[in-house]
Structures are given as structure tokens and as C-alpha cells.
């Protein structure tokens, strides 16, 4: 998921996507532990996408008080 795509999503959509990715990350960990992981690169991809979403959420949280404080 590209950063531009994340900017277009609402906060609720980002939270939902983050929950889905964390669930997938857990499943990938179990697959890796039981030697059933088909695509090892997916672990890295999911981890990085989670980080991108958290970065976008932090940026929105930082920008939100500045917008509210001007009223």
C-alpha cells in the first residue's frame, strides 16, 4: 500500500486495515514457526506496511491539534 493510498483513507479505514495486517502478521508468525510459510517476503512486506500506517496515524494526530487550536 503506497503512502498516497493511505492519505486517501479515513482514520477508521486505516484502523481497520491495521487490524487486518496485525492479524495477518500473527498468522504468518505461526506459519513460520511450523515451517509452512509459502512466501517469506510477505512477513517483511506486512511489517513495513504496518509501520507506514502507524506513521500516517502519528502524522495525522500531530496535525489534528494544530488545526483544532486555531478555532
CATH label of the domain that carries residue 46: 1.10.287
The SS3 assignment for 30 reads helix
Q: How confident is the model over 3-31, as a mean pLDDT?
A: 93
CA geometry: angle 71, 9, 48, nearest 5 deg: 115
Q: Provide the pLDDT for residue 64.
A: 80
Kindly report, residue by residue over 35-54, the tens digit of the pLDDT. Answer: 999 999 999 999 999 999 99
CA distance to 2, 35, 47, per residue, from 9 (Å): 11, 35, 19
Kindly report, residue by residue over 1-13, the tens digit of the pLDDT. Answer: 777 888 888 999 9
Domain tally, the chain: 1
Domain boundaries, position 44 = 3-69
Q: Which residue has the cell 502524522?
A: 59
Query: What length does the chain have?
Result: 71
The reported pTM is 0.84
Amino acid at each position: 500500500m503506497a503512502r498516497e493510498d493511505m492519505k486517501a483513507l479515513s482514520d477508521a479505514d486505516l484502523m481497520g486495515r491495521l487490524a487486518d495486517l496485525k492479524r495477518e502478521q500473527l498468522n504468518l508468525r505461526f506459519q513460520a514457526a511450523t515451517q509452512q510459510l509459502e512466501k517469506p517476503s510477505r512477513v517483511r512486506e506486512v511489517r513495513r506496511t504496518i509501520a507506514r500506517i502507524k506513521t500516517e496515524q502519528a502524522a495525522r494526530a500531530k496535525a489534528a491539534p494544530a488545526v483544532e487550536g486555531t478555532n
